[in-house]
Structure 1
Amino acid sequence: MDFKDYIRVIPDFPQPGISFKDITTLLKNGEAYRSSINELKKMVEHLKIDVIAGPEARGFVVGAPLAYALGVGFTPIRKSGKLPYETIEVGYDLEYGKDKLAMHTDAIEKGQNVLIADDLLATGGTIATSVNLVRQLGGNVVGAAFMIELTELNGRDKLQGIDVFTLMHYE
Structure 2
Amino acid sequence: MIFDECDIKSLIRPVPDFPKPGVVFRDITPLFQSPRALRMVADSFIQRYVEADFSHVGAMDARGFIIGSIIAYELNRPLVLFRKQGKLPADVIGEAYQTEYGQALLEVHADSLCDGDKVLIFDDLIATGGTLLAAARLVRRLGAQVFEAAAIIDLPELGGSTLLQDAGIPTFCLTAFALDEA
The TM-score range, normalised by the shorter chain, is over 0.9
Counterparts of 1:147 and 1:45 in 2: how far apart (Å)?
17
Q: CA RMSD in A?
A: 1.0
Counterparts of 1:116 and 1:25 in 2: how far apart (Å)?
23
Identity %: 40
Counterparts of 1:117 and 1:134 in 2: how far apart (Å)?
13
Identify the residue that residue 116 of structure 2 maps to in structure 1: 111
Q: Within 5 Å, which residues of 2 pair with 1:118-133? A: 118-133=123-138
Identify the residue that residue 165 of structure 1 maps to in structure 2: 172
Q: 2:60 aligns with which of 55, 59, 67?
A: 55
TM-score, normalization by structure 1: 0.96
1:40 aligns with 2:45: yes
Q: Within 5 Å, which residues of 2 pair with 1:90-101? A: 90-101=95-106
Counterparts of 1:44 and 1:164 in 2: how far apart (Å)?
13
What 5-or-longer segments of structure 1 have no aligned partner? none
Query: Can you list the C-alpha shifts for 1:137-157, whole angstroms capped at 9, x where unaligned?
Result: 011101011000001111022
Runs of 4+ in 1 over 6 A off after TM superposition: none
- Structure 1 contact 55–118 (Cα < 8 Å) conserved: yes
Give the CA deviation at 1:10: 0.6
Aligned residues: 171
Query: Can you list the C-alpha shifts for 1:93-123, whole angstroms capped at 9, x where unaligned?
Result: 1101111010101111211010001100000
Q: 2:21 aligns with which of 16, 21, 24?
A: 16
Q: Out of 37-46 and 128-137, give the one that drifted further.
A: 37-46
- Structure 1 contact 54–117 (Cα < 8 Å) conserved: yes
